[in-house]
Amino acid sequence: MITKTKKLGHLLIAGAISAAIMGCQQPERQTLEQQANEQEAAKPQKPTAAEAKQFVEDAEKRIADISEYAGKAAWIAQTYINVDSQYIESMANKDYKLLGIELANGAAKFNDLELPYDVERKLKMLRLGLTLPAPAGQPEKASELAKIESKLSAMYGSGNTPDGEQYDLIALSNVLVDSDDPEAMLKAWTDWRKVSPQMKQPYQRLVEIANEGAKDLGFADLGAMWRSKYDMDPDAFAAEMDRVWGQVKPLYEALHCHVRARLNEKYGDQIVENKGEIPAHLLGNMWAQQWGNIYELVAPEGGSGIDVTKRLKAKSYDAKGMVRQAEGFFSSLGFKPLPDTFWERSQFTKPRDRDVVCHASAWDITPEDYRIKMCIQITEDEFNTIHHELGHNFYQRAYNLTQPVLYRGSANDGFHEAIGDTVALSITPKYLKEIGLIDEIPDATGDLPFLMRMAMDKVAFLPFGLMVDQWRWKVFSGELTPDNYNQGWWQLRQEYQGVKAPVTRSENDFDPGAKYHIPGNTPYSRYFLAHILQFQFHRELCKIAGHEGPLHRCSIYNNKEAGAKLKAMLEMGQSRPWQEALETMTGSKQMDATAVIDYFAPLKQWLDKQNEGRQCGW
Ligand code: X8Z
Ligand code: ZN
């Protein structure tokens, strides 16, 4: 419809001009009234509210039409990495991008109109729709950008280097989990970072084009566009993240202090000193983002923890069995089971004979077609990730079946990331007993070990969740340039996380590219938000479930009332600002990290005691 309006405008102007050139009318013989009429007709028509409504309806149809095609192309590209699948994906992505750009620019034409709430909000969704926009009217740049995206994703997924080496992220990660030999860990850590230097140049070009696209849409740069997706002023959003970080920082610092002390005891001053940043290869995770895998090293003495990995293996769970178990949790809350096609089309395990992107994701190809793509290993981490991914699928289905196309999204992207994790917070010892994974619930002495294990993942993650986009925002704004990409990355790692590179790095390295979401171009602030929101949701759902006692012992398993409350929020999709979605769920419009503080209160007390006399900080 907008194309038609635009064309109509051009036609009117062209008509008036050609009449004047041809001289078929003598201006001096026109009456004033005639002149005024002609001038009015020559003006481009101001768009109307009715046209805006029609525009939105057409946009929804066109998006729905192209989504299945683009979704399937992307699925193939990630589950069969080869030149052909990359080609097909980039073509589909280019078409999608061109449509997105056309619609975003078209939507901007209705900017100054007084419009009904839903039309206005949907126009906003269109303006903000793309993650990586290309500049308007330059299809060759949209095509170039789409090709770079596919290439980066394939580089990461395959682990191939330009010299014909191939590195296996899962195998290298397992070294960090299983080994306590600093040499071996260092090798695994540096090996994985041999895959990413080749990404630097294409990444730089991607930033250039997408920045141009964002500016074209009226944003200062791509970072400003990303920060505009939160129903509030973009600067206020950045400030809000900082405020919430301030609430949890003391807890992180206490954890950091204790973990560093234990690492120092184990490895000695040569490897990790009892001051300053922790070398990033010792924390049991390729990016030092979650530390649960070195839990044994920091475990409080006296209490008994539960080794879920061991229990899953002892009970002979396989990948599908773990997914079934997680689906069962959602069913217990009153959600309908997933369709048969979910079981037929998902990728649960790593194929032996081809390259795939193993990084876990959840897909809604159509409102009937849901899938996850994982390379599941039988571990506690993966059991949690399965809940995380199913949270996406159940959210997608809730809004896909109730909302129009442009409202099919989460209240904000942090909500999407929080749902499965919220459910996984209910994997308590009591729950594990209910599903037969353990035989006895540990007594209260088990609380500290449980909380410590949780904190090693959830609290340790917070500064990482914040710094990834701090880096990208600086890259997009030009504050960081290609000659200090890597240095800028490590500066933020040091500042926020208090971790450092275990060996000297240079600008020939591109360590940000070793983290999926950089070549994958997935914004990362969402995970920081999710790590706060999930505790807020958990606290509220536990209240509804009538839970009494400490928050970390609450499980909402089988509680239909809590399930109904959750479902009501999921079904809102992105039809209302996230603050309202949060209010429906929690009664408050504000993000609030006191839920994190409440949850970990007993652990914080214990950590403070352990840290007495230690020199904390870095
Ligand atoms: O990427 C993910 C999910 C898919 S949305 C597996 N997460 C972040 C990461 O792995 O870096 C979940 C936690 C943070
Ligand atoms: Zn996710």
Residue 15 clears pLDDT 60, i.e. is over it: no
pLDDT tens-place string over residues 360-386: 999 999 999 999 999 999 999 999 999
In whole angstroms, give the CA distance from residue 566 to residue 586. Answer: 10
Q: What is the mean pLDDT of the chain?
A: 93
Ligand having the closest approach to the CA of 415: 2
CA–CA gap between residue 299 and residue 259 (Å, rounded): 10
360 lines ligand 1 (CB under 6 A): yes
Give dist(CA 538, CA 585) in Å, integer.
Answer: 10
Q: Rounded distance, CA 561 to CA 564, Å?
A: 5
Q: Give the span between the Cα atoms of 202 and 210, in whole angstroms.
A: 12
Find where tokens 């923890």 sit: 305
Indicate if the pLDDT at residue 476 is higher than 50. yes
pLDDT at residue number 30:
57
- Dmax over CA atoms of the chain, in Å, equals 103
* 423 in Cβ contact with 387 (< 8 Å): yes
**Is the per-residue pLDDT at 42 higher than 90?**
no
Please give the DSSP secondary-structure letter assigned to residue 46: P
Per-residue exposure over 568-593, b if at least 16 CB sit within 10 Å of its own CB, e if not:
ebbebbbbbbbbebbeebbeeeebbb
Poorest-confidence range of 23-37, 140-154, 482-496? 23-37
What is the 307 CA–ligand 2 centroid distance (Å)?
A: 24
C-alpha 518: how far from chain center = 11
Res 40 pLDDT > 80 = no
State if residue 361 touches ligand 1 by the CB under 6 angstroms criterion.
yes
pLDDT tens digits, 117-160: 999 999 999 999 999 999 999 999 999 999 999 999 999 999 99
Question: Residue 379: helix, strand or coil by DSSP?
Answer: coil
Kind plus residue range of the DSSP H or E element containing 569: helix 560-571
Backbone angles phi, psi at 166, to 5 degrees: -135, 130
- Could you give phi then psi for residue 568, rounded to 5 degrees? -60, -40
- DSSP strand pairing (278-279 vs 499-500): parallel
CB of 173 within 6 A of ligand 1: the answer is no
Summarize the confidence of residues 216-240 as an average pLDDT.
97
Mean pLDDT for 189-193 is 98
Q: Give the rounded percent of residues in the chain with a pLDDT score beyond 90.
A: 90
- Distances 600 to 28, 221, 448, 502 between C-alpha atoms, Å: 84, 38, 9, 30
> Coil, strand or helix: which one is 443?
coil
Question: Residue 14 has what pLDDT?
Answer: 33
527 lines ligand 1 (CB under 6 A): yes
The pLDDT of residue 445 is 85
Copy the structure tokens of residue 170: 């899962």
Task: Check residue 443 and give its pLDDT.
Answer: 87
Judge whether 527 and 465 are in contact, CB under 8 Å. yes
Residue nearest to atom 14 of ligand 1 (CA): 527
User: Chain centroid to CA 118: how far?
Assistant: 26
Q: For a pocket test of ligand 1, which of 388, 392, 413 has the largest count of ligand atoms closer than 8 A to its C-beta?
A: 388
Find how far residue 45's CA is from the centre of its chain. 41
| Cβ atoms 297, 443 nearer than 8 A | no
Mean pLDDT, range 293-315, rounded to an integer: 91
**Which run of H or of E encompasses 364?**
strand 361-366
Cβ contacts of 542 within 8 Å, gap of 6 or more: 551, 554, 556, 562
Residue 289: what residue type? Q
Residue 573, CA distances (Å) to 50, 52, 197, 410, 527 in order: 25, 22, 39, 5, 18
With a cut of 60, say whether residue 28 has pLDDT above it. no
Rounded to 5 degrees, φ, ψ at 514 are -80, -5
Instruction: List Cα–Cα distances, 72 to 77, 129, 161, 585, in angstroms.
Output: 9, 19, 27, 34
What's the gap in Å between 590 CA and the centre of ligand 1?
Answer: 24
The mean per-residue pLDDT over the stretch 400-421 comes to: 98
State the Cα–Cα distance between residues 103 and 64, nearest whole angstrom.
Answer: 13
Note the pLDDT tens digit of each residue in 570-584. Answer: 999 999 999 999 999
416 labeled binding residue: no
Contact (CB, 8 A) for 455 and 600: yes
Quickly state the pLDDT bin for 355 (edges 50, 70, 90). Answer: very high
Closest CA relative to residue 336, chosen from 410, 382, 400: 400
Where is 261: in which H helix or E strand?
Answer: helix 234-267
Residue 289: which of 497, 114, 117 has the closest Cα? 497
305 has pLDDT over 90: no
Q: How far apart are CA 251 and CA 597, in angstroms?
A: 8
User: At 31, is the pLDDT very low, low, confident or very high (cuts 50, 70, 90)?
Assistant: low
Cβ-based neighbours of 174, under 8 Å, separated by 6 or more: none
Alpha carbon of 24 to ligand 2 centroid (Å) = 66
pLDDT, one tens digit per residue, over 430-471 is 999 999 999 999 888 889 999 999 999 999 999 999 999 999
C-alpha closest to that of 188 among 112, 46, 287: 287
Q: Would you say 308 and 449 are in contact if contact means Cβ atoms under 8 Å apart?
A: no
Task: Give residue 32's pLDDT.
Answer: 62
Which residue puts its alpha carbon closest to atom 7 of ligand 1? 527
Nearest CA to ligand 1 atom 2: 360
Q: Is 277 left (phi over 0), alpha (psi -120 to 50) or beta?
A: beta
Q: Which atom of ligand 1 is nearest to the CA of 527?
A: 14
**How many other CB atoms are found less than 10 A from the CB of residue 182?**
18
Residues involved in catalysis: 389, 517
pLDDT in tens, 527-562: 999 999 999 999 999 999 999 999 999 999 999 999
Overall size of the chain counted in residues: 618
pLDDT band at 27 (very low <50, low <70, confident <90, very high): very low
Distance 423 CA to ligand 2 centre (A): 13
Residues 549 and 540: their CA atoms lie apart, in Å, by 14
Q: Is 249 exposed, middle or buried (0-12, 13-18, 19+ CB in 10 A)?
A: middle
211 Cβ closer than 6 Å to some ligand 1 atom: no
Q: Is the CB of 385 under 6 A from ligand 1?
A: yes
Instruction: Report the half-sphere exposure of 429 (CA within 13 A, side-chain side).
Output: 20
Give ∠ CA 530-74-320 in degrees, rounded to 5: 65
**109 Cα to the center of ligand 1, angstroms:** 37
